[in-house]
Amino acid sequence: MAPASHGLLGRIQRANADAANRFGPHTAEVEAFIAATAQLTPWQWRQVLLVRAQVSQVSKEGSTSPDSAGSIQAAIRSSETRISETMARAGEVLFDTLAKKSDDKQVAAWQALTALVMRSQLPALKFAVHYAPFAAVIPLSGSDVLDPRTRRLISRIEGLTKEQVLKLAARWRIEPEASRALLQAVAKNRHVKSEEAVALAALEFITRSTTGDEGWSAVRTAVHGGRVLGVLTDLGAEEVAELWAPLEAVIPLASLDEVEVPLPAAGIRSAVGQAIKTITKPPRARQSATPAARPASRVPALYGPNHAEVAAFIKGVAELSPIQWLRVLDRRQLVSSVTREVAMEPAGVVRSILAALDGTRDLDMYTRCRAFSAVERAGSALESTARHDLEQIRTVLAPFEPAVRFEGLNGGGFAHKVAAIDKAGWQRVAAGAPEVTVDAVAPLISAGTALIDFFGGRSDDEAVATWHAVSALVHRQRLTPIKFAASYAPFASAIPATNPRALGAMVSRYVTAVGRLGASQCAMLARPWQLNEDLSGVLARAVADGSSRAGEEAAALAAVVTVPMRLAGTGGWAAVKTAALGGKVIAARARLTGEQLVALWEPIEPAIALTSLNAPAKARR
């Protein structure tokens, strides 16, 4: 090879080597981490900051940095700094990527980044303290190839109760010979990551129930167990027994071994014989079964009686464009300016419910229903402290103790506490919650679970509007038409819930007229009115079969969007109620006499004349 070519090839190879190691030996992980932080959703960032706050309550390794993002960036760019060149390069890229994020998010990402850059030089527990906030949202490389014993230990740690954590926090001492053997074995197996994985899991789950020195001691004991498991093959039986003694009372070492129970010989022969008979048996002739001879077992719909509408909404809401979302939020503000159906579930309550749905995914439906009911009651009580006494609030929070305390708590703080409850904690909450009807609650839980990933990337206003709409769809038959309209109106045009063709021509013309109301017409509809008992009885009998509900819903949906643009406040709500009454009357006109129809239409007549709803006469040639 010519010298010039050799020199060029050498420069290319050196440039490639520099690029592959520009952030140190863990460049690939650092680059992947920086790219992943830019893609985190607001919900994931909230989880990161929540875990960071939990770790700071037990850590003695300085998980909370006194420096701000600005001072860290100044130190990176300064020539007189103790930050290494590799760390400075990684920091510049990270802060440029997160330039629009808040100060606490940038600092949390910086601490995790420093731990990644120095991963091979830090003790496992110190690395875990800095990286634990991101462990769930940005998993480390190698976290999916742990040995079976380490996986089972992490699973046991996730299910620890507070009493078991306090046992792990007890003081313990290892004999010098066993301790020396452990250090020698660890030195031979520095590539093993079991201690690191256990430390990350312990910091996430143990800190949920125990804080302070006790929490830190329990974390260190669990990490010691991960270290022993990583070098188990290099230790003798007596050394293993001595080293595992601090954990034996809570997590016996034998429970981490997978025991396979072999089938007896008779069982094997029976299974083989049954398989041979199944294979060699001639196929049965197909028999035509009539519906009377073979009744079909009907499986209840996942989202309840309105399964089709709810499924269409779940699919449609994920496909809305930014412009459509602006219209949804604008309509929600319009509706809230007149409606008396005040949202019983503010943002804090909705976030608490969503956290409960996410945390109970692996539990059975009965347990999920009871936990859901407990969260809904507690969140609503905390958000409406003016209408509840303190004893009542403490009563509804009783199932959550000791994970959630009442002192200094509101709806938003309750949501963060609920998000930190583990699987065992949810089982305790469900056990202390009142009885619920599963058939009534399960469809809403299924619909909310289907939207969990969607809610994670949305603002509080969007999440609240979506939750109210899907709740109204699931419980549509239980809500009055005007209450359903107040909850679903923001999405009525983007994801229609009524079929215009099913309304009939006259009802459709009335709904169109409601959508074109002017300010003077809304003022006329807002005038007080009252039906006498005879007319009320006639109307009640006419709509008893529910056939007029679709017309009343359509009129109410049009009114709660149109009227607020003309008339706000109490007058607007009165006009909406009158417009909804018109939808009910015109949909039930076939069951009314002419005099009854005119009498019932009297409150609406000044704004929308009854004769204007008749079919237009055909023009003569």
Is the model's pLDDT at 323 over the cut of 80? yes
The per-residue pLDDT of the chain, averaged, comes to: 78
Outline where 289-437 has alpha helix (H).
307-317, 322-336, 347-359, 365-383, 390-397, 411-419, 423-432
Measure the CA–CA gap between 387 and 66, rounded to whole angstroms.
41
Half-sphere exposure of 18 (CA within 13 A, CB side): 8
Amino acid at site 239: E
Amino acid at site 560: V
Is the peptide bond prior to 402 cis by the omega test (within 30 degrees of 0)? yes
Encode 310-319: b = buried (16+ Cβ within 10 Å), e = exposed: bbebbeebee
Is the model's pLDDT at 289 over the cut of 50? no
Is the model's pLDDT at 491 over the cut of 60? yes
Q: Give the start-end residues of each E strand in 94-167.
A: none
Give the pLDDT band of residue 268 (cuts 50, 70, 90). Answer: low
Phi/psi region, residue 504 (left: phi>0; alpha: psi -120 to 50; beta: rest), is left
pLDDT tens column, 359-385: 888 888 888 888 888 888 877 777 664
pLDDT tens column, 344-360: 567 778 888 888 888 88
Torsion angle of C-alpha atoms 34, 36, 39, 43, degrees rounded to 10: -110
Measure the CA–CA gap between 291 and 288, rounded to whole angstroms.
10
Residue 204 CB partners (closer than 8 Å, separation 6+)? 51, 54, 132, 135, 136
Residue 4's pLDDT is 45
| More confident site: 81 or 603 | 603
Domain ranges of the chain: 16-126, 148-256, 307-491, 500-613
Residue 367's pLDDT is 87
Instruction: Pull the structure tokens for residue 324.
Output: 């459509």
| More confident site: 116 or 66 | 116
Nearest to 559 by CA among 571, 586, 577: 577
pTM of the complete model beyond 0.75:
no
Measure the CA–CA gap between 555 and 515, rounded to whole angstroms.
9
pLDDT tens column, 326-350: 888 888 888 888 875 444 567 778 8
Q: What are phi and psi of 505, to 5 degrees?
A: -65, -45
**What average pLDDT does range 182-202 have in this prediction?**
80
% of the chain at pLDDT higher than 90:
0
Residue 169's pLDDT is 85
Is the model's pLDDT at 508 over the cut of 50? yes
| More confident site: 46 or 11 | 46
**What average pLDDT does range 199-226 have in this prediction?**
84
pLDDT tens column, 543-562: 888 888 888 888 888 888 88
Residue 86's pLDDT is 80
Is the model's pLDDT at 260 over the cut of 50? no
